[in-house]
Amino acid sequence: MEQFILEYGGLVFAVLGMALVVAIPGLSSGKGVGMVGEATTGLMVDQSEKFGKSLLLQMMPASQGLYGFVVAIMTLGRLHVGMGLQEGLFILMACLPMAIVGGPTAISQAKVAVNGVHLLARNENEMTKNIIYAVMVETYALLAFVTSIIILNSVTF
């Protein structure tokens, strides 16, 4: 077992980081987009002319899944069979900011966007304020995304 960890542990940990950074934000983004989609569908029954504005709200929770995917693609370029344990653990740690922050921010942003759909149904002129609230949640996902990229590119082995 010890020999296996020494030979392949780096690659295993790096792939684990890659899997986490895709799975956690992706799962939450999918759930968030679904939550907003349910609210938007109700709006379309009575006010289908608001489709374009509601689509913007529905797309917002999807960004965390995309950020996670980008970090995973950047990680993919660093994988190799002879990767040392130290490098693999470093890549795992680099993926964690986006993996940890991406999920909760997608759900929080979806909750804000659902309320935005309700606001859009009642008062279309106030929708910009809701978009600003949703973008404020996005800020923390962006900080985690940039942090993962900076860490991933800060050290070469």
* Residues 121-144 pLDDT 10s: 999 898 899 999 999 999 999 999
- List CB contacts of 78: < 8 A, sequence separation 6 or more: 14, 87, 91, 152
Domains and CATH numbers, the chain: 1-152 (1.20.120.610)
pTM listed for this prediction: 0.92
Task: Report the mean per-residue pLDDT for the chain.
Answer: 95
pLDDT value, residue 4: 87
Share of the chain above pLDDT 90, in %: 89
pLDDT value, residue 157: 87
